[in-house]
Structure 1
Amino acid sequence: MSTSPTAAAPADTAVRLGLRENWVQFTLLVVVNVCVGALVGLERTTVPLIGTDAFGLTSDLAVFSFIIAFGVTKALTNLAAGELTARFRRKQLLMAGWLIGIPVPFALAWAPSWGWIVAANILLGMNQGLTWSMTVNMKIDLVGPARRGLATGLNEAAGYVAVGASALLTGYLATTYGLRPAPELIGIVFVAAGIALSLSVRDTAAHVALELARHPRPIGAEQSTGLAETFARTSWRNRSLRGASQAGLVNNLNDGLTWGVFPLLFTDHGLGLAAVGLVKGLYPLLWGIGQIPTGHLADRIGRKPLIVTGMFVQAGGFVLALALLDRPLLAGILSAVALGLGTAMVYPALIASVSDHAHPTWRANALGTYRFWRDIGYAAGALVAGVLADALGLNATVIAAAVLTAASGLLAARWITDRPAH
């Protein structure tokens, strides 16, 4: 442990900010995040069906409890990760996240009861909160202010393409070999690769120190850098950060809801495991790939246009899912396309917007707070989906998601402002 490693790092004359200047380390971190995304992608197709088919769960809320456990744990870990960067190096936290994730594929593959699945998702939430937080923070550290949109786009693209590819692969394996254990055991490869690659990653404390040296007193530098103050500032006091936090929450509410609802909705309408895997894989694949151009676009035209438009496109995706449900494969594919493209517009722009409005001295805590609200959306989505599905049915749950997403887009339009990066 070290005291304030980020602030205390000496300014190294060999250190440079920029994507081109740090492309080797940046690329390595991209590949690390492929492993991060692939591990959580294990669950996208099979786990809701394991709950109903293998463990005989009849309540939708009980089935979605694993998503609630994942979302709450990941959100709290994101929040803690920002504060932990003041005590530990980013690389140390990255490695800790991987070590926590080691039991996950084994538990998913051979869990004797549903409680084990929920427990595995607590570990998975901690793993994702630490590893994904550190990869995005380290990329932002490396590139500096000018290319944050592209940096976050590439980071999130790598992670969510891997989520989609893993969901497709597990759907195929489940069709061929059954729901367990073959689809889950490929996670062992992802964890081993993530650990091996992360050992080669260099810490980015010197890059943060260089940015601080170049921008000693921009707007916000005089403000408290503590977690409590930054949490309040990011959650509601700063208008733009408040707008980004609520949009992030609703965005991941959508993801948590579709994670649990879509496999059940489309199997109820006749789709098999391979087709459900296609729908569940296509959404994050488009979400991932699309973030490369949208992240670059956010640097050129600003964050707000992409955030607002993306929320309305996602709302349209839910409408398509129900409007075409008599043709379930078409409904699933078109809704996945709209949800994927809408999320691709929103995701890197939101992270870049938070980075724009946060001084480097409290940026890690601001990103941790934003990611707390964003990822509590997983739990909120699963909770809302479970309660509404049990009370009113799966269709009503999808309608509610469309309404909430459109309302979030309106709030983003009202609250978020674009301004140049520091």
Structure 2
Amino acid sequence: MSTGQRPLRLGLRENAGQFALLVVVNALVGGMVGQQQAVLPLLASEVFGLTGYTFIFTYVAAFGITKAAANYVAGTWSDRFGRKPVLLLGWLLAIPVPLLLMWAPSWGWVIVANVLLGLNQGLTWSTTVVMKIDLVGARQRGLAMGLNEAAGYGAVAVSSLLAGSLAEQYGLRPAPFLLGLGYTVIALALSSLLVRETREHARLEVAGHGPEDPRSNRTIAADVSWREPALASASQAGLVNNLNFGLSWGLFPLLFATADLDIGQIGLLIALYPAVWGAGQLVTGGLSDRVGRKHMITVGMAVQAGALVMIALSGGFAGWAVGAIVLGLGTALVYPTLLAVIGDVAHPSWRGRAVGVYRVWRDLGYAAGAVVGGVVADAFDLTAAVWTAAAISLVSALVVAVRMYETHPRDARTPPTG
């Protein structure tokens, strides 16, 4: 089996060129979120005059729901049609996003932009995850996911800083969203001209993985959602993790603004969380290949709960900065490790679909964070919403501790077949 003249081989070193290219593409995916993270809540209140927290958070909910749906489509289509066509479709859908954000005459158009952004993120991020898992094989799966997620969320942080700086110097529109336009053009060029299909690598792994496992889409969805203990535990932890991210996206800029911080300071605080999250995954992804998955996820969710308590108790820049850093550390422990769990348990023949279903649940967390944050903040206040997220994170940690088994290939027991 070969592509061109060279036989296919699995491994990070053996596929370093394509792997590095996919890391760059995923950084551009993350940049599309970062360009708006610090700016849109301020745009909602200062340009469109929105005041109700639940209404302001509609754009986060719209993004999360559409991204979750796109994740499922990405997993199914990447198994059926190949990875690269799905990646290209995702970037084509990104083209209108920065243009709509620049010139939207009403908040409804901002929501439309976030629907398209959710489709872009679900198709492109899911596909780069599956492609990297295809390339590296089982031995370095955690490291591969750490590098992937570090690139994506590191770019969220850098773009958030850049967008905040541009907004402070040139206004909330259109300057910050020129970043997204540039990201889209570069990503389309790289994905169409240089990225290669990786589905044959998955088939190569199948050849050494035993007989085919022809599960139906319904069976896979049930296993990942509730039936298979490790997969289902990963799905709920992923949902809660992104509930926290969705809450931070919609609520933190408004919370930080209560201390009369300027846009640059708010942008810095917003960037700290994904910056630590992104950089930390350079260590935590590979660490999970050595020490296992379960305990890292349990500790990571508990650390997130503690970080949210710090943020709720603080009332100024220093305390919020420490809380954001700790929140990033907790997320770094969890994020690549959860994806590695899915890769550990799922057979290569249905891995794309398993990743898609997991990411459906994980990214519904954006919508859950928007709803929980908006409803609780409207009923009580912004701080009460942060306390609520802390409690939910602690419960999630307990679920992982009780239900998940260790999935790392060196230590795992044989998972149920469903």
Q: 2:237 aligns with which of 219, 223, 247?
A: 247
**Pairing 1:1-400 to 2, within 5 Å after superposition:** 14-199=7-192, 200-217=194-211, 221-222=212-213, 224-325=214-315, 328-400=316-388
SS at match of 1:370: helix
In 2, are the aligned partners of 1:11 and 1:206 still within 8 Å (CA)? no
Deviation at 1:130, TM superposition (A): 0.5
Which 5+ residue runs of structure 1 have no aligned equivalent?
Answer: 1-7
Counterpart AA for 2:384: A
**Whole-Å Cα distance in 2 between the matches of residues 225 and 109 of structure 1?**
45
Counterpart AA for 2:261: L
**Whole-Å Cα distance in 1 between the matches of residues 43 and 365 of structure 2?**
23
Deviation at 1:316, TM superposition (A): 1.0
In 1, are the aligned partners of 2:75 and 2:127 still within 8 Å (CA)? no
**Whole-Å Cα distance in 2 between the matches of residues 406 and 242 of structure 1?**
17
**Whole-Å Cα distance in 1 between the matches of residues 227 and 185 of structure 2?**
42
Tell me: CA distance 1:389–1:205, structure 2 relative to 1, closer, same or farther (3 Å).
same
User: Are 1:403 and 2:400 counterparts?
Assistant: no
Tell me: CA distance 1:182–1:412, structure 2 relative to 1, closer, same or farther (3 Å).
same
In 1, are the aligned partners of 2:2 and 2:8 still within 8 Å (CA)? no
Tell me: CA distance 1:372–1:11, structure 2 relative to 1, closer, same or farther (3 Å).
farther
**Whole-Å Cα distance in 1 between the matches of residues 409 and 72 of structure 2?**
23
**What's the TM-score once normalised by structure 1's chain length?**
0.95
SS at match of 1:362: helix
Deviation at 1:10, TM superposition (A): 9.5
Q: Deviations over 1:170-226 (max 9, x none)?
A: 111111111111011221110011111112100002111110111123xxx54x422
In 2, are the aligned partners of 1:157 and 1:292 still within 8 Å (CA)? yes
In 2, are the aligned partners of 1:315 and 1:401 still within 8 Å (CA)? yes
**Whole-Å Cα distance in 1 between the matches of residues 370 and 306 of structure 2?**
20
After TM superposition, the runs of 4+ consecutive aligned structure 1 residues lying more than 6 A away are 8-13
Deviation at 1:329, TM superposition (A): 0.6
Tell me: CA distance 1:393–1:187, structure 2 relative to 1, closer, same or farther (3 Å).
same
SS at match of 1:161: helix
**Whole-Å Cα distance in 1 between the matches of residues 79 and 235 of structure 2?**
22
Q: Deviations over 1:58-102 (max 9, x none)?
A: 111110000000000000110111111233120010000000000
User: Are 1:417 and 2:405 counterparts?
Assistant: yes
SS at match of 1:186: helix
Question: How many positions carry a matched residue from both structures?
Answer: 409
Deviation at 1:354, TM superposition (A): 1.2
In 1, are the aligned partners of 2:72 and 2:359 still within 8 Å (CA)? yes
Counterpart AA for 1:62: F
**What's the TM-score once normalised by structure 2's chain length?**
0.95
